[in-house]
Amino acid sequence: MLQKKDDKFAVLGYAGRMKYEYELISHNYIRGFHLFLVRILYRTPHLHREFEVNLILEGTVEILSQGREYHADEGDFFVFDPYQPHELRAETGTVLILSIQISPAFFSGYFPQMESVRFGTEIFHRAESPRHQEIYREILKTTASYCEKTPFYELDCARCINALFRLLLDVSAFTVVSEAERPAQRVRQERVRYLAERIEGGFCEKLLLGDLAKELGIDLYYLSHFFREHFGLSFQEYLAKLRCEKARRELLLTDRSLLDISISCGFSSPKYFQRAFEKQYGASPKEYRKQAPRQIGEQPAASVFTSQEFLSDRESLEIVRRLLASP
């Protein structure tokens, strides 16, 4: 049983590519562990069941999570907790992020208390202290071991992950979910998961919060407040962001009319589509399509079509080796 001391534990093809989502990335090498480098323009609100450790390798990112806004620059790192909705947007151009997703179950055989840890959203910089620099290098070393895949690399990755989380517990102002609070937390997490998956699978159709309240067997007024508290947005705002991103890709990938795109993406009217799109991207759908850097008979760059582009193991390894060789 863990005890707390001073609020700390006293323990030591482009079209296909568009469909990829963080929570769908799956490597069958190490159970409960996913790692990738991704270049992001924009990432719609989403969540996953794992802890996600993120290191900014290039650029600056704006993070929106649970109603708060954060900014992270090159060399910064931060952790998203399981079932924590978040949205990412590059502030200029694109941002290159190294992400490590670790299931709480990864630690269950020897440190099951990890399931109760909540890091919150703190932005750390590698230059803050020697400990922060250690974390930065552990993230890079984990990535190098994973991408090289030399004999017994799985053990190297496990060692790095344990060292990484041990250091994160040292530097972060984490909280602990008590045993008494855990049942209620699981109910909240399951509700958040259900809402996210239900919306992800049906946002192009007519979707009402009242219908979701009935499906969950809870009061509409309560669900409205629950949604804003956990997603940081109203239900309609969340829907609009997902619909606008799908519409953006339709504008670039097809010659369909604005009316057809509006209907296929779930908007109730072209007027609402135009207003929501302009709010999210700073241009009307017509202007956005016109401004896209595409020439007749030529394919635009993949980054125009996709809001995120995943790097191969080889590309990732080259970047990480270069950074590890730097002071």
**Between 194 and 294, residue with greater pLDDT:** 194
Is the CB of residue 76 less than 8 Å from the CB of residue 136? no
pLDDT of residue 2 exceeding 60: no
Across all residues in the chain, what is the average pLDDT? 88
pLDDT at 233: 93
User: Distance between CA atoms of 142 and 134, rounded to whole angstroms?
Assistant: 12
Within 8 A by CB and 6+ apart from 89, the residues are 41, 42, 43, 61, 62, 64
Per-residue pLDDT of 13-50, as tens digits, reads: 333 333 334 444 444 578 899 999 999 999 999 999 99
Q: Which domains does the chain have, with CATH numbers?
A: 4-176+308-325 (2.60.120.280), 182-292 (1.10.10.60)
**Between 11 and 267, residue with greater pLDDT:** 267
* Mean pLDDT in residue range 179-196: 95
